[in-house]
Amino acid sequence: MKYANLKVALAVSTLAMAFGCGDNEELTLGPQCSIYLGEDGCCFQAAGDNSAARQECHLIAKAYKAAPEQAEASCKAANETAIATGLCDLPGGSAKRPSGACAKYLECAAVADPQAFPAALAAYGAGGQCWSTPSTSSSCDAACSKSLDLLRQSHPSEPKCNGCSSGADCGGRTPYCDPSEHVCVECHEPSHCKTNLCFNSQCASCNNKPCAGLTYCDTNSGHCRPGCSSNSQCKSDQFCNLSTHTCVTNNSGRICDFTNSCTQGDVCLLQSMSKGMCLAACAKVGDICPTADAKYKSICLLQYSYSSNWYCLYLCEYQGLTFPCPDPSNQICQTSTTPGIKVCQPGPDR
C-alpha cells in the first residue's frame, strides 16, 4: 500500500497542530475518522507492517480525538480519495477496487479537475457499477485511460497525474514509469515499442528517427529490426551484407582460390593456376577504392587482358609511404608497372 499518499490526503500536520497532541485516551473518534483511523482503518491498511507508519497512524488518531467533529470532514475526504484510488477497502472489505488506470485517473482528477471528481468517483470508484461485470470493467478501464491521458496533457507538471514509482502507477497511453524522472511515459526502452524504437520517451517510426545499436530500419513497417544497415555497425574487418543485414568478414584484397569464394561482390582474380586475390571492380584508373579499414590503401590500377573491367589493387608502398597488406601471411609487396607504386600480391606457394 502507498502510505505516503494517505498522508497527503489527510493534511495531517495542519490538523495535528490545530487539535494538539495531548493525552486523549478517553475520547473517541467520529464515524468517518473511525473508518480511517480505527484499528482496521485505511491508515493501518496502508501502513501494513511498517512500524513507523503504524506509529504515525496512532499519533494522528490521538490528535483527532481532541476535536472529533472538526476532524470528520478531513477524514471523510481522505476516506473517499483513498478508497477510490484503491489504497484501502471499504469497511468490510467487500467492495471491488477500481482498475489501475481508474485509480490513477481518480487520484489525478482529485487535484487536476476537482469539479469533475465527484461524478468520476461515483462512476469509477470502489464499489461502483463499473466493477460489477467484466464487460463494464473493461469499458470503464478504457474510459479512465482516455481521461487520464487528457488530464496528463493539460497538466504535464502535476505529480498526482504523472508522478510514479513503478508501472503500477501508470496506465493508458503512458503505461511505463521512467525510473530516473519518475513520470509515466509511453516507453523508456526499445522493447516497450512495437517498432523497437523509443525516442524521447515516445515510440517512434524508424522512417522518421534513426535506429540505435546493431539494428536496421525496415522501411515497410517503420520498425527497427536486429541487424546492420551500414559498414560502420560492423567490426573493422567486416562489411554489412545488405541482403541479409548481417556483418560478414571482408575478404577484399585477401588470397582466394577455386574453392574460396570472395564476399561483398569481389571477384577472385587468379594470378596463378592455384592462387589469386579477392578484388573489387572499379570505374576509372587512379580512383581511390573503399577499404574495410583506414590502414589499408587501395587504388583502381589493374586491368586483365581477358576483361574490360578495372580492379582495385591494394598498395603496400606509395610515394614513400608504406601500408600493410590485407593478408600479410600470404602476400608479398611487389613492384608494379606504375612507377613509385608497389602492390600486394600472392606470395609463393608453400
Q: Are residues 106 and 158 in the same domain?
A: yes
The predicted-structure confidence for 159-176, as pLDDT tens digits, reads as follows 788 777 678 777 778 888
Residue 242: inside a domain: no
Q: Are residues 147 and 198 in the same domain?
A: no
Residue 281: inside a domain: yes
Q: Are residues 80 and 106 in the same domain?
A: no
The predicted-structure confidence for 233-278, as pLDDT tens digits, reads as follows 887 767 777 777 888 766 777 878 766 667 766 778 776 667 788 8
The Cα 146–Cα 149 span in angstroms is 5
For every residue of 148-185, DSSP letters joined together read: HHHHHHH-TT-HHHHB-SSGGG-BTTB-EE-TTT-BEE
Residue 59 C-alpha cell reads as 499519533
Per the structure, the complete domain to which residue 48 belongs is given by: 3-84
Q: Are residues 9 and 76 in the same domain?
A: yes
Residue 69: inside a domain: yes
Q: Are residues 34 and 74 in the same domain?
A: yes
Q: Are residues 79 and 20 in the same domain?
A: yes
Structurally, the chain folds into a number of domains equal to: 4
Mean pLDDT of 143-156: 86
Q: Are residues 215 and 278 in the same domain?
A: no
Q: Are residues 26 and 75 in the same domain?
A: yes
Q: What is the pLDDT of residue 324?
A: 92
Length of the chain in residues, anyone? 350
The predicted-structure confidence for 206-223, as pLDDT tens digits, reads as follows 877 788 888 888 888 788
Closest CA to 48 of 80, 92, 96, 3: 3
Residue 57 C-alpha cell reads as 497512524
Q: Are residues 78 and 114 in the same domain?
A: no
Residue 256: inside a domain: no
Q: Are residues 207 and 272 in the same domain?
A: no
Q: Are residues 308 and 272 in the same domain?
A: yes
Taking the complete model, does pTM exceed 0.75, yes or no?
Answer: no
**pLDDT greater than 50 at residue 123:** yes
